[in-house]
A and B are shown apart, each in its own frame.
Chain A
Amino acid sequence: GAVVSQHPSRVICKSGTSVKIECRSLDFQATTMFWYRQFPKQSLMLMATSNEGSKATYEQGVEKDKFLINHASLTLSTLTVTSAHPEDSSFYICSARQFGTLSNEKLFFGSGTQLSVL
């Protein structure tokens, strides 16, 4: 099956620094990738939809200047948490939709990134 690689799996950083998370589709092209945030024992909340070659679409309440998304190729999307603060500590997960597939009938997920901001 299709594989989505997400790195790093865990990152600890100081408050005020920026952290970049990468999401790569390893064996397929992904025109659309999604970024989710998940708090402990809670559901996934969609943050933004990333389309290759265009600006990301952010969900209501998500600061686009805080969470920078770049989808420069068909296999890579990045999420940068800028000037991170302790309240940004969370589990971030990306998912990818395979090029040519209809709707979101089956998404492939990365293994997630646990961000801890001190």
Chain B
Amino acid sequence: SQQGEEDPQALSIQEGENATMNCSYKTSINNLQWYRQNSGRGLVHLILIRSNEREKHSGRLRVTLDTSKKSSSLLITASRAADTASYFCAMTNFGNEKLTFGTGTRLTIIP
């Protein structure tokens, strides 16, 4: 079944640095989304990129999608302590409304 594999599993960086996390998937997708989850909380939608798009920006977030490699990356620039959270990619397949999640990256920003 489709599930994204994210790497790294955990990432610790200094405040102000950029954080990059990657998501790989197995089958063709309709769109790919990134969500953030603070510890013990629900998920917050960050950004969506469609299968015919290659890059999108939203504030300090930059998402790329390479459908030939079946991979996506999320870049958070100028990280802040408040960015500390788990980040999940999630995807939908054509003809299937289900949203399946990746394994997640736990990001820690060190003040």
List of B residues within 8 angstroms of A106 by Cβ? 33, 45, 48
Contact assessment for B99 and A104 in the assembled complex, using a CB-CB cutoff below 8 Å: yes
Contact assessment for A46 and B40 in the assembled complex, using a CB-CB cutoff below 8 Å: no
Contact assessment for B30 and A49 in the assembled complex, using a CB-CB cutoff below 8 Å: no
Interface status of A107 (Cβ within 8 A of chain B):
yes
Over the window 55-80 of chain B, the binary record of Cβ atoms lying under 8 Å from chain A Cβ atoms (1 yes, 0 no) is 00000000000000000000000000
Q: How many A-B residue pairs have CB under 8 A?
A: 58
Contact assessment for B40 and A91 in the assembled complex, using a CB-CB cutoff below 8 Å: yes
List of B residues within 8 angstroms of A91 by Cβ? 40
Contact assessment for B30 and A42 in the assembled complex, using a CB-CB cutoff below 8 Å: no
Among A21-61, those with CB < 8 Å from B are 32, 34, 41-46, 49
Over the window 33-63 of chain B, the binary record of Cβ atoms lying under 8 Å from chain A Cβ atoms (1 yes, 0 no) is 1010000111111001000000000000000
A49-B98 contact given A105-B48, A106-B48, CB 8 Å threshold:
yes
Over the window 73-110 of chain A, the binary record of Cβ atoms lying under 8 Å from chain B Cβ atoms (1 yes, 0 no) is 00000000000000000010101000000011111111
Q: Which residue on chain A has the smallest CB distance to residue B103?
A: A43
Interface status of B92 (Cβ within 8 A of chain A):
yes
Q: Summarize A's interface: helix, strand, loop or mixed.
A: strand
Interface size on B, residues (CB 8 A): 23
Q: Which residue on chain B has the smallest CB distance to residue A106?
A: B45
Contact assessment for A112 and B41 in the assembled complex, using a CB-CB cutoff below 8 Å: yes
Which of B42, B88, B102 is the one whose CB lies under 8 Å from A4? B42
Interface size on A, residues (CB 8 A): 25
Interface status of B3 (Cβ within 8 A of chain A):
yes
List of B residues within 8 angstroms of A49 by Cβ? 97-98
The minimal Cβ–Cβ distance linking A24 to chain B, given in whole angstroms, is 13
Contact assessment for B44 and A34 in the assembled complex, using a CB-CB cutoff below 8 Å: no
A95-B43 contact given A42-B104, A43-B101, A104-B99, CB 8 Å threshold:
yes
The contact sample of 25 A-B pairs, CB cut-off 8 A, is A4-B42, A6-B42, A32-B97, A34-B99, A41-B106, A43-B3, A43-B101, A43-B103, A44-B43, A49-B97, A49-B98, A95-B99, A103-B30, A103-B97, A104-B98, A104-B99, A105-B33, A107-B45, A109-B43, A109-B44, A110-B42, A111-B41, A111-B42, A112-B41, A112-B42
